[in-house]
Structure 1
Amino acid sequence: MFRRDPLQTARRELEAVLERDLRPALPLLRAALRRGGVVGAARDGQSAVVGGGDVPRDGVFELASVTKPFTAALAGALVREGRLGWDAPLSRLGGPFRSFPDFVTARALATHTAGLPAHPARVAVTTFTRFQDPYGSMDAPAALASARRWASRRGAGRFGYSNLGAGVLALALAHAAGEDVSAAGYGRALARYVTGPLGLPGVGLTPPARGLVAPTATLLGEGVTGFGPLAGAGGLFGTAGDLLTFGTAHLEGRLGQDWREVLRPPALPPHLDGVAPGWFRRGGVWWHDGVARGTRTALALVPASGTVVTLLVRGGVPLVGLRGVVGAAALALAEPSALGGPPSANSFPR
Structure 2
Amino acid sequence: MLTIDGSTGEGGGQILRTSLALSLVTGTPVKLVRVRAGRAKPGLARQHLTAVQAAARVGCAEVSGAALGSTEITFRPGSIAPGVHTFAVGTAGSATLVLQTVLPALLSAQGDSELVLEGGTHNPMAPPFDFMERAYLPLLQRMGPVVTAELERYGFYPGGGGRVRVSITPAPLGKLTLLERGEVRSRRLVARVANLPVHVARREVEAAAKVLGWERAWLHTEVLEGVAGPGNVVTAEVVSEHVTEVFTSFGERGVRAEVVGERLGKEVKAYEAAGVPVGEYLADQLLLPMALAGGGSFRSVVPSSHTRTHAGLLEQLLGVKTRFEQEGEDAWRVEVGSG
* TM-score, normalized by the shorter chain, greater than 0.5: no
Query: TM-score category by the smaller chain?
Result: under 0.3
- Higher RCO (C-alpha under 8 Å, 6+ residues apart): 1
TM norm structure 2: 0.26
